[in-house]
Amino acid sequence: MTSGKSHIIKDWRKRCLQILGTGLAFGVYLFLLAPSLIVTPVSFGSKYELKFPPASYSLDLYRIFFSTEAWTQPLLLSLRVALSTTVIATFIAVPAAYGLVRFNFLGKKFLLALIMSPLVIPSVVFALGIYLYFSTLRLGGTTLGLIVAHTMFVIPYALVIISAGVQKLDPNLEFGAMLMGAGRLRMLMTVVLPQLYPSIAAGALFAFLISFDEVVISWFLAGPNTTTLSVKMFSAIQWEISPVIAAVSTILTAVSLVVCLINVALQKGGEQSS
């Protein structure tokens, strides 16, 4: 009887703790999502004042954004830089991932540390180094300079994702193909690459988003004609709290949402295959 009662009390206590834990967790989820949740309604609000919730809804801010050259120029530049960066970084990261997973060689650890260094070095330090370096090369303020710097910056992310894909491949298939007389290149093109497409697509997608969102390096390298969307936004938030920024923010959030859903889908796929 008494043991049954204490059991109920214990259960009740456990239940309380669980509810508390869930409540706290949802509080944190709300805190994490708050920026995206706030920015979206504001972006459909009035062009005259920043108000939440907006008094009336319209597409004015988007219309202003897409018809103002001071915003569309940076948008186009960001898209150009992010696309070029993605293509170059993918072409470099795919073979590098394969080489680093499949081979052992002298200086591999050093090379890996060097390639991954943009993840650890504070972006400001990296940005300053590139700024000083590119100034002497006269690459400062050029689109080419931005693309080169971004390529280095996004490669670690692409490499992590693509090498995870390489690690899941069965090396015996590769041996088998070569044993059957396929040359190395043919084996790579017909056995390795097709299996890697999902990881390559994911790596490329993340590379694109990271380049598109990158601020610090672009801020240091920006010239009068090479202001990316993120740099334009950074200075706009600092100097003029214009409601148009809400529209830009919502567009960026939408892009992030797409990337995040693909991220989830990939994780699910990974769990199923393992």
Partner 1 sequence: MVTSATRGAGPFVAPAAILSLLVALVPIAFILYFSTMEGTSVEPFRTILKSSLFHRAMTTTVVVAFWASIISLVLGYIVALHLARQTARRRAALMVLVLLPFWTSILVKSYAFTIILGREGIINSFLSWLTGAQVALPLIFNRFGVMVGMTNYLTPLIVFPVLASLLAIDPALYRAAEVMGAKPIRIFLTITLPLSAPGVLAGVLSVAVMALGFFIVPALLGGRQDLMLANLVDFYTREVLDWNIASAVGVTLFALVGIFAIPATLIRRTKGRIAS
Separation of alpha carbons 62 and 214, rounded Å: 22
Instruction: Restricting to residues 179-208, name those near partner 1 by CB under 8 A.
Output: none
Q: Is 243 helix (H, G, I), strand (E, B) or coil?
A: coil
In terms of Cα–Cα distance, which of 130, 97, 131, 98 is closest to 116?
A: 97
Q: Which of residues 81-140 bind partner 1 (CB under 8 A)?
A: 91-93, 95-105, 108, 111-112, 114-118, 120-126, 128-133
Q: Is 57 in the site for partner 1 (CB under 8 A)?
A: no
Interacting residues with partner 1 between 209 and 268 (CB under 8 A): 209, 213, 215-216, 219-220, 230, 233-234, 237-238, 241, 245-246, 249, 252-253, 256-257, 259-261, 263-264, 267-268
HSE-CB for 162 with a 13 A CA cutoff? 31
Distance, CA of 43 to CA of 58 (rounded, Å):
9
- CB neighbour class for 137 (10 Å; exposed up to 12, middle 13-18, buried from 19): exposed
Which of residues 69 and 271 has its CB atom nearest to partner 1 in the complex? 271
SS3 104: coil
Question: Using CB under 8 A as the criterion, what x/- string covers residues 156-175 for binding partner 1?
Answer: ---xx--xx--x---xx--x
Question: Per rule CB under 8 A, is residue 10 in the interface with partner 1?
Answer: yes
**Single residue of 19, 34, 59, 189 touching partner 1 by CB under 8 A:** 34
Residue 95: which of 170, 194, 183, 188 has the closest Cα?
A: 188
For the bound state, the minimum distance from the C-beta of residue 187 to partner 1, rounded and expressed in Å, comes to: 12
Tell me the number of residues near partner 1 by CB under 8 A: 97
Between 8 and 33, name the residue whose CB sits nearer to partner 1: 33
Shortest separation between residue 171's beta carbon and partner 1, angstroms:
4
Closest separation in Å from C-beta 181 to partner 1: 18
Query: Can you read off the two tokens belonging to residue 107?
Result: 């200086």
Q: Please, are residues 229 and 245 in contact by the beta-carbon 8 Å criterion?
A: no
The encoded tokens of residue 176 equal: 């088998």
Residue 74 contacts partner 1 per CB under 8 A: no
